[in-house]
Amino acid sequence: MSRAQKSTIVLFFVAAAAGAASAKAPPSEVIFPPQKLPLTFSHARHLAKKIDCDFCHEKAPGSRSSADDLIPNEEVCATCHPIDHQHPDGAGAKPSAMPCASCHPGFVAGKEVARVVMPTPNLRFDHQAHVSRGVPCARCHAGVERVELASRAQLPNMDLCLGCHNSGRGKLDAPSRCATCHVTTRDNTMETSFPSGTLRPSGLLRGDAHTLDFRTRHAAVAREDEKYCLNCHRQDYCQSCHNGVVKPFDFHGNDYVSRHGIDARKNDPDCGSCHRRQSFCLGCHERLGVTDGRTTANTPFAPNGTRKFHPDGWADPSAAHQPNHHAWQAQRNLRTCVSCHRQETCLECHAAQSGPGATGKMSVNPHPMGWAGSQRCQALADRNVRVCLRCHAPSDPELHCGR
């Protein structure tokens, strides 16, 4: 590894640490839709007076649904703050009564009080289950003792939830299944479409943020833990592309037929993740007569055909070291070759002359340098010697890879 490469890696992780120190994820707006809280209230002052949370939020300890309204109503406030509706300016007979505007900013007598809007969260939550296990309110509503009016910022994000919801193996025996907290559909996948928006992974759990280009690079996550993806997607969703017979219009954009060969040679995106080259690609190429025809029929691209696909000198034995020769091109990207050719094409020249599959005319050695005696030779000969016998005779000492 060069010094420049090391420096790049170090810089990346320094940036990571700097980012980690500065970023803090707020709760999702899809899970907790934006609220309107036209109130003046100080949680800090109330908690500083050692007032228990359930003194005001009296329904919270027994609540079993996130749809429950747990915000204290006026009667609860009036327990300590006498309210005189007849004298909203607080100048009435009750000396301790506060003006309405002290809690309802902008209050004007005779006009409707601005309403609190607190949409139902799009998740399952059982306050009772948490309270009964001794989870203090501040564990989930962290920082509420330091703020004036608590808001969405004091609601938990998923990172906090997962601190305890760890597959039932922690002290609290809390399950980590998505459906424990998330709303599910009838088929047990997660509901992701809400009036407040589409629920997408933030990337803070698995680095799988569903960004604009996630469709082109989701493989790393999916191949690592398929079950994780299946929490939201059913297999038919994956299969609609990965066993595709219908072109995804965005993935294979306009005029893709004309230019697909370039992508195939670059293997970007990876053709093999949706199309097998020796069935899908080869099948279509054979149908259209753009293969060499050795094993199917005499097409225009057959060796004695009327048209040429590859440039001059492509199969000239005397020019095997030239970059325009098929040997070099095959080394660079053998996968591309197999989308038009079968093994028999290669065997025509590359097979040893003495073996049972000895159709080879020239016995041109296709092995990489140092193959005989290499670990690769031994591994293959130990596990599948029959493929070696396509070119080599059973008595050929080279079958033993130098052992």
Sites for another protein among residues 141-170 (CB under 8 A) = 159, 162-163, 166-169
The region of 49-57, 76-84, 115-123, 251-259 touching another protein under the rule CB under 8 A is 251-259
Site for another protein in 253-292 (CB under 8 A): 253-255, 257-259, 261-268, 272-280, 282-284, 286-290
- Tell me: does residue 330 bind another protein (CB under 8 A): yes
- Tell me: does residue 240 bind another protein (CB under 8 A): yes
Output the CA torsion sign for 216, 220, 226, 230: negative
Provide, rounded to whole angstroms, the least separation between the CB of residue 133 and another protein: 18
Is the Cβ–Cβ distance between 376 and 388 less than 8 Å?
Answer: no
**Which lies closer to another protein via its Cβ, residue 93 or residue 369?**
369
- Tell me: does residue 383 bind another protein (CB under 8 A): yes
- Whose structure tokens read 């009750």? 94
What would the x/- binding string for another protein be over residues 171 to 190, using CB under 8 A?
A: ----xxx--------xxx--
Site for another protein in 30-59 (CB under 8 A): none
Taking CA 279 as the corner, what is the angle to CA 356 and CA 349, rounded to the nearest 5 degrees?
35
Q: E strand or H helix at 124, and its extent? A: none
- Tell me: does residue 353 bind another protein (CB under 8 A): no
- Whose structure tokens read 């609540």? 63
Provide, rounded to whole angstroms, the least separation between the CB of residue 265 and another protein: 4
Determine the 3-state secondary structure of 36 from DSSP: strand
As a whole number of angstroms, the distance between CA 158 and CA 181 comes to: 10
- Whose structure tokens read 């293959």? 380
Site for another protein in 63-102 (CB under 8 A): none
DSSP 274-290: T--IIIIIHHHHHHTT-
As a whole number of angstroms, the distance between CA 130 and CA 137 comes to: 9
Provide, rounded to whole angstroms, the least separation between the CB of residue 198 and another protein: 9
- Tell me: does residue 361 bind another protein (CB under 8 A): no
What would the x/- binding string for another protein be over residues 215 to 234, using CB under 8 A?
A: x-x--x-xxxxx-------x
**Which lies closer to another protein via its Cβ, residue 22 or residue 96?**
22
- Tell me: does residue 331 bind another protein (CB under 8 A): yes
Provide, rounded to whole angstroms, the least separation between the CB of residue 343 and another protein: 5
Could you give the residue ranges of the DSSP H alpha helices within 188-253?
219-222, 226-229, 235-242
- Whose structure tokens read 């590359």? 350
Which residue of 23, 111, 115, 304 would you call a contact of another protein, by CB under 8 A?
23
As a whole number of angstroms, the distance between CA 289 and CA 292 comes to: 8
